[in-house]
Amino acid sequence: MQPWAYVVLLGILCLVISWFIKEPAQASVMAKDIEDAMDLVAANLEQENKELLDSMTRLKSEYERQADKLDARVAELDKRVGELSAELREQQRQQSQNQVQNLSYNQGSSQNQNLMTVRDMNPAVKPDIAAEAEPEQDEPVAATISQRYPELFQLHNQGKSVESIARKLDMNKGEVALILQLSRREDEEHV
């Protein structure tokens, strides 16, 4: 090593030693200040952590209350949906029974009116018309449902929905659904 390097190293060593010798009191004050600052930071962090935990606890309890309210509401809505579904099924069943009764009543009343009109005529003048008007008991009076509504069943066989069939034929959706349901029952009875 060169002599000037020794001089520089010796100078640095002297500065360091003089700094430690001259500043021991300041170093301890500085260390104390640093410790105080660290304690203050630790106390602040602890306070903030405590506030954060309290806040999280409040949020959790509020969330649980909201979740309980939502669960209760969902259960209430599920119950209401079940009641409405049962009510709807009952109404559809009654409606289908009423429509079947109306269809059979309308068919029977129109046949009775034809028969009464023919009987009211003078039997001596037109006896063969009265015989034609009385239906034979052995023949089925009504055609099948699919024969009465061929366009409806054609659309259904094409895969159209009940709504689109109802729109196209200018019928109610319930009426279309009823006709399809009655047709299924009729098919099941014939099988």
Nearest partner of 175 among 184, 186, 163, judged by Cα: 163
41 within a domain of the structure (yes/no): no
| Residue 129 DSSP SS3 | helix
10 within a domain of the structure (yes/no): no
Planar angle of CA 153, 155, 159, nearest 5 degrees = 105
pTM for this prediction:
0.33
pLDDT attached to residue 127 = 46
173 within a domain of the structure (yes/no): yes
80 within a domain of the structure (yes/no): no
DSSP string, 10-59: HHHHHHHHHHHHH-HHHHHHHHHHHHHHHHHHHHHHHHHHHHHHHHHHHH
pLDDT tens digits for 73-112? 999 988 888 888 888 888 888 888 888 777 766 665 555 4
Residues spanned by the domain of 170? 143-191
| Total of domains in the chain | 1
27 within a domain of the structure (yes/no): no
pLDDT attached to residue 122 = 46
114 within a domain of the structure (yes/no): no
pLDDT attached to residue 16 = 80
What is the distance between the alpha carbons of residues 7 and 13, in angstroms, rounded to a whole number? Answer: 10
Which parts of the chain register pLDDT below 70?
1, 19, 22-27, 104-142, 191
159 within a domain of the structure (yes/no): yes
pLDDT attached to residue 27 = 60
13 within a domain of the structure (yes/no): no
What is the distance between the alpha carbons of residues 183 and 52, in angstroms, rounded to a whole number? Answer: 68
